[in-house]
Amino acid sequence: MKALLIKLESWGCDVKDALTRLTGDEDLLIDCIAIVEKDPAFQKLGEALKRADAAGAFEAVHTIKGIAANTGLTPLYDLAVELAAPLRRGELQGLELTYQRLLQKHGEFRQIVASETAHSR
C-alpha cells in the first residue's frame, strides 16, 4: 500500500473500504483524496454558518459528508455527520465547536497529504 494511504489509515481512515469502492485502485483513491483536500465545501460551510444560512451550511456539510464517505476519510465524515443532523432541521445553535473540530481535522488531513506529497517528489 502507498505511504499516503498507510498514513491516512493510521490517522483513522477506512482505506480498505474506500479501495473496495474503487476496485482496489490506489492511484485513483489518491487522486480523489487530492480533490477532497482542496474542496471548497469546507470554506462554504464556514461562510454559511457565519451568515446563519442553515440551508447553505447543510448543502456544504452534505457535500463534505459524501466525499469523506466515498474516500474513507472517517475523521472528517464523523464530524460532518454531527453537523448534518441539526442543519437538516435548520438548527444553527451549538455547532461552532463541532465546526472548529472539523476544521482542525481537515488541517491535520491536509498536513498528512502535504507531507506525503513532499516525500514522493
64 falls within a domain? yes
51 falls within a domain? yes
What is the tens place of the pLDDT at every residue in 98-115?
A: 999 999 999 999 999 999
Which domain covers residue 74, as residue numbers?
3-116
Q: CATH no. for residue 39?
A: 1.20.120
34 falls within a domain? yes
**pLDDT above 90 covers what percent of the chain?**
92
37 falls within a domain? yes
Number of domains in the chain: 1
12 falls within a domain? yes
Mean pLDDT of the chain: 95
Q: Is pLDDT above 60 for 40?
A: yes
DSSP state for residue 52 in the 8-state scheme: T
Listed residue (31, 18, 23) closest to 117, CA to CA: 31
Q: Is pLDDT above 70 for 120?
A: no
121 falls within a domain? no
Specify the pLDDT at position 121.
Answer: 47
What is the tens place of the pLDDT at every residue in 51-92?
A: 999 999 999 999 999 999 999 999 999 999 999 999 999 999
Number of H helices, E strands in the chain: 7, 0
